[in-house]
Amino acid sequence: MLDSLTQQLNATAAAFTEDAAALQRLLQRMAHDVERAEDEALDLFPVAHHSPASALQLVRRLHQKQPKVIYIELCEDMLELVGHLRDCKLPVAFQAFAAESELVPAEALPISVIAPLTESSAEYQAIAYALTHPETQLVFVDRPVDYVFQWQPVPIISEDESDDDDEAAQLHGKSIGVTIGTLEPTFDDFLHYLLQNSNSRHFTEWWEQYVERVILHADYSTYRQVMTLVGSLIHQLGRKPQDVINDRLRERYMWTRIKQHLAEHAIDPADALYICGAAHLASDVAEFGTNNAEQWADMPAKSATQWLFGLIPSSFVAIEQQFNHPAGTIALAEATWRKSLKAGQVKAFQLSKDQKAAKPSRTKAPVGATQPHNPQALANFLQQPPEVAEADHEQLLDWCARIVALARENGYLASTADSIAIYETAYLLANIRNRYQPSPYDFQDAAITCLEKDRTPRKRNISQLCRMLLGGDRVGTVGYESLPPLAKNIYDRLAPLNVNLYAKTNQRALMDFSQSPDLLDSSELLWRLNYLLGDYVVQPIIGERKLGSKPVQESWEIRIGKYQRDVIQLGYEGITLEQVLEQRMRQRAFGDDATAAKALHTAEASLMYLRSPRFTEELGFHSRALLIQETGVQDAPDIFDRARHLVQYYRTMPQGLATWLESFVATGYSHYASLLPQAIADRGTTPEAVAGMLGFIFSLESLALSVGCQRSELLISVELAGKGDVAPDKLGLLWVAEWLLNRRTIQSMREFFEHLTEDPLSLQGLPAYLNGFILALKFAPRIALFVVELLSHIFRVVPDSALIPWLPGFILQLRRNATILEPLIKEAALVFPPNVAGLGNWQPNWMHDQQRLPEGEVTISADLSPDDQLAHELLLAHPAGMQALAALLNIG
């Protein structure tokens, strides 16, 4: 049937090589693939990934022929999502999501598969036609999502591996992209040879220039034959062996599904349309019968993975990154699509919310849509040069004028003469590259050549401006009815804020709870979203979340419309936001890398965001269990701070301290007391960690003793710690602990430093000794007077030659501990005279024996309320009054 085509291909082979036998066999197989596709009773429609020519030809075909059923090469379990497209703004993507699966390693979870749709994609036009024509059945025939991972090893891509900083490029995350009509060669040598001999930089440029523009306005028969011919070439030369095996598995699955569906519904193959990638038409897989046992005998079983399906927003940039297209490819395809619709006077199929189904009617095919079958037509078509459309010439003129205007707006010195230069240069580049008409890539190169300077005046260069001109980016939106229940609940609960949650720009929400107490629920929801997703989705401008605080006013930046995908992703994890929040907290607290600090932080977060006493108690007891198992103390400062805050919070509650917190404090007291000798002796344990341990022990000691702990274990630990070799930066911490326990006097510490400052060789170690005393201020604020005395003594007796070298480091050390220096500053303000005039006759308090610190300091717990601490200090300052009160109360 295609003898003339075969003869033409053989003549071409002979012209290119002397040993033409192998090439002739290849070309004959290509001609045979075309002939086999023509003989198929089923109407086969080959397409390419996001090809406007394929979409345009499909629209023409559907206007001419109204099939009873349309088969599409898309994962069959995604079919349930097509009805939700009416409520969406393209581009969007079908998504299959799994939080757990044995198909990939645990570190790669969660996994997802996406299939993006744009208006200029053939699959969307077929879906839109089927949804608006109820008499036409739509069937997805490609393998299920589960087989995507079973049949071919899929590389697991990290979110951080992308070099694209554009936020829109991250819409698909690390999803695996699938689509119909993927024709890009995977065999690198073939691709390199193809691009090198066509003066192209990327396969999409080669495709647009040598295939897309040629078949855009061809008749249907010629279009199908050319696509089959190109698909056969890619199938036989451009694919890796593993890809060919995977393609054959898919082809067998799809053909089996089609044959099965045709037999079950008694449909004549001539009344059906099969939309698939052009490379699949070159398939030689064996035909199958309709016996189910025969068809599926060697099909693998599906895994136990629970797949969840839904729609997510997509964007041109995200699709380009997902499928490795150069920037601007999808925008250019969209522009070509709209231009071709206008030029060919073709009406595309679209979906809308209130759209009614079209009445079945046989419409006349547009001019040039189809021709009677002619075996010689393809051979004649391949011999003709491509036509230069008038619209292409006008489009080039428009681009040349608009790019100059854009350049001027962005700070470039450009004029009308540059427009002419770009136009001439584009044609010059096209002639050099053997093209009849400049392509968009030629135009972009010409614009960069004529307009780009040695520096970019503002933030955009000419390449970026060209991409904006050719269409820029477009981000889709999933409508309310197509959202998962969790996302719908979020939109409903934020409705009282009266902000546009679908807008891609920042939305400001102002809340005054004294005037509108009903907005408290919206505030709670925003704080939970902030905890789960971070500041980039919802960000508090005014207001904070703390234990026990009651909000009065809040201001928020809301970017849910811009990051709608992240909100939708939460819907795959649970039905309500509170459920997802509890699951995330549970994973954090009970994960393999969980620590006592993480679990305690999660317990605190549960109080602020969930307010579930049962769940908080579960987290609290788990943090206690983790603390018992830990042998290190590096998290001690964090645990101390959180435990102290939780104690203070619960003491303001009517029910008092929680049982889990009392148990945690008691466990922490015994645990840190037992580890104290090891931590002080261990060179790898930082002084900050030791300070955290001692802070927990002394600040929460009164509570720990009240629930059954014994102070004797602390006394034994401190005594054991003092017997070993103590590093200078921890010595101050140990001595302050001994002083609090009446095991050391201020006088002994004073004498040590007096001897130390008299030894010139020991002066370099002074900052390390001081470090321990400064860290001790966190749990022993009354040591501040001795620290002031010590610093005054050092500055008075140490010579400048020794003092100045270590002074900058000491100042930086004080700066790192700025949060605990308040007692030191207050004590210094009380000791030193308030003005310079008072320095003449001033003598410090420690120069008078009667005003020195009392020996045997009694512990003052930092967890006492301010009033209790004041009463405690007054009693210590007036021992006679305390003794009289004891006698009056008959206390021994």
DSSP state of 761: G
Angstrom distance (rounded) from CA 559 to CA 506: 5
Cα 402 from chain centre: 36
Phi then psi for residue 18, to 5 deg, are -75, -40
How confident is the model at residue 358, as a pLDDT? 54
Q: DSSP string spanning 325-390?
A: PPTTHHHHHHHHHHHHHHHHT-PPP---TTPPPPPP--PPPPTTS-----TTHHHHHHHSPPP--H
Higher-confidence position of 11 and 492? 492
User: What are the distances in angstroms from CA 189 to CA 196, 342, 649, 871?
Assistant: 10, 39, 68, 85
How confident is the model at residue 542, as a pLDDT? 92
Bridge partners, residue 554, by sequence:
511
pLDDT tens figures, 364-390: 444 334 444 555 566 566 656 555 566
Bridge partners, residue 507, by sequence:
558
How confident is the model at residue 877, as a pLDDT? 56
- Can you read off the two tokens belonging to residue 402? 């608009």
Reply yes or no: is the peptide bond before residue 110 cis, omega within 30 of 0.
yes
How confident is the model at residue 637, as a pLDDT? 92
Do 93 and 113 form a contact (C-beta atoms < 8 A)? no
247, with CB counted inside 10 A (0-12, 13-18, 19+), is buried
3-state SS track over 846-884: HHCHHHCCCCCCCCCCCCCCHHHHHHHHHHHHCHHHHHH
- In angstroms, how far apart are the furthest CA atoms of the chain? 124
Higher-confidence position of 702 and 882? 702
- Can you read off the two tokens belonging to residue 242? 């593993």
- Element containing residue 554 per DSSP (H, E): strand 553-558
Instruction: Round the average pLDDT of the chain to a whole number and report it.
Output: 83
Phi then psi for residue 275, to 5 deg, are -100, 120
Q: Quick check: 629 pLDDT over 80?
A: yes
Give the Cβ contact number of residue 457 at 10 Å: 12
Angstrom distance (rounded) from CA 740 to CA 860: 9
Angstrom distance (rounded) from CA 676 to CA 280: 71
Q: Residue length, the chain?
A: 892
Q: Quick check: 776 pLDDT over 60?
A: yes
Bridge partners, residue 139, by sequence:
71
User: What are the distances in angstroms from CA 688 to CA 248, 637, 684, 715, 807?
Assistant: 63, 7, 12, 21, 21
770 closest CA partner among 738, 799, 811? 811
- Element containing residue 647 per DSSP (H, E): helix 636-651
Q: Using CA atoms of 285, 291, 295, 297 in order, give the dihedral in degrees to the nearest 10.
A: -140
How confident is the model at residue 491, as a pLDDT? 95
Angstrom distance (rounded) from CA 678 to CA 191: 64
DSSP state of 579: H
Q: Quick check: 605 pLDDT over 50?
A: yes
Angstrom distance (rounded) from CA 806 to CA 763: 9
pLDDT tens figures, 71-94: 999 999 999 999 999 989 999 999
Q: What percent of the chain has pLDDT over 70?
A: 83
What does the angle CA 89 – CA 321 – CA 161 come to, to the nearest 5 degrees?
125
Angstrom distance (rounded) from CA 403 to CA 418: 10
Phi then psi for residue 252, to 5 deg, are -65, -45
Q: Quick check: 170 pLDDT over 50?
A: yes
Mean pLDDT across 555-583: 93
User: What are the distances in angstroms from CA 663 to CA 254, 585, 616, 620, 627?
Assistant: 62, 21, 14, 9, 11
- Can you read off the two tokens belonging to residue 774? 């400064």
Do 185 and 344 form a contact (C-beta atoms < 8 A)? no
pLDDT tens figures, 341-353: 888 888 999 888 7
**HSE, side-chain direction, 13 A CA sphere, residue 492:** 10
Q: pLDDT class for 785, splitting at 50, 70, 90?
A: confident
